[in-house]
Amino acid sequence: MPRVLTIAGSLREGSFNGALLLAAEELAGKDIEIERYDGLHAVPAFTGDREADEAPPEVEHLRRLIDRADAVLFATPEYNGSIPGVLKNALDWMSTPFPGNVLRGKTVAIVGASTGNYGAMWAQADLKKVLGLIGARVVGAGLPVERAHEKFDQSGRLVDEQVRRRLEQVLDTLVTETATQLAA
């Protein structure tokens, strides 16, 4: 059973990206073990010191979670046409030590939701670039969920069937690619 870590790039309570990951958990069923990471708010600012022997405990915790996971599913909102600073900050930490960081070779997929008409497409493209530079294996085409306020009900449940099917496809691709990578 593959272990998938989910990380939402939003700190906002009731975030559509957090809700998108909850929908992924629901769709995953019994054959995928999903662990949700919700500690981005605690990751301190990246210092740029790539030679430090020890990182802050919050950073080491996230590194352990990523290391333990077979794959990672990221959900990113779009802030000013790119990924949120808190997510980029955490990824900067995860890129160290270079080149043998915890994301190197890790299979990852990206989804994103926004209330606008583009579904965080630019943020997903930037996140794909950053993860690729870090050394992660980004799989699939992503999933832009536009006009998210129309796709979720008042309790945050994903109610749009087309988005549910596309999210299920993202999960299927992530699991298939992860199995291929683990078998290699």
Residue of 147 and 30 predicted with greater confidence: 147
Structural domain spans, the chain: 3-183
CATH 3.30.70.1400 fits 3-183, yes or no: no
The model's pLDDT over 38-85, given as tens digits with 9 standing for 90+, comes to 999 999 999 876 555 678 999 999 999 999 999 999 999 999 999 999
Instruction: Provide the pLDDT for residue 50.
Output: 59
E strand map for the chain: 3-8, 33-37, 71-75, 107-113, 137-138, 144-145
- How does residue 30 score in pLDDT terms, banded at 50, 70 and 90? confident
By C-alpha distance, which of 32, 28, 2, 6 is closest to 17? 6
Does residue 16 carry a pLDDT above 80? yes
Q: 3-state SS of 21-62?
A: HHHHHHHHHHHCEEEEECCHHHCCCCCCCCCCCCCCHHHHHH
Instruction: Provide the pLDDT for residue 45.
Output: 95
Rounded Cα gap, residues 165 and 139, in angstroms: 17
Instruction: Provide the pLDDT for residue 142.
Output: 94
Rounded Cα gap, residues 99 and 64, in angstroms: 17
Please provide the average confidence, as pLDDT, over all residues in the chain.
94
Query: Which residue type does 71 have?
Result: A
Does residue 22 carry a pLDDT above 70? yes
The model's pLDDT over 145-177, given as tens digits with 9 standing for 90+, comes to 999 999 999 999 999 999 999 999 999 999 999
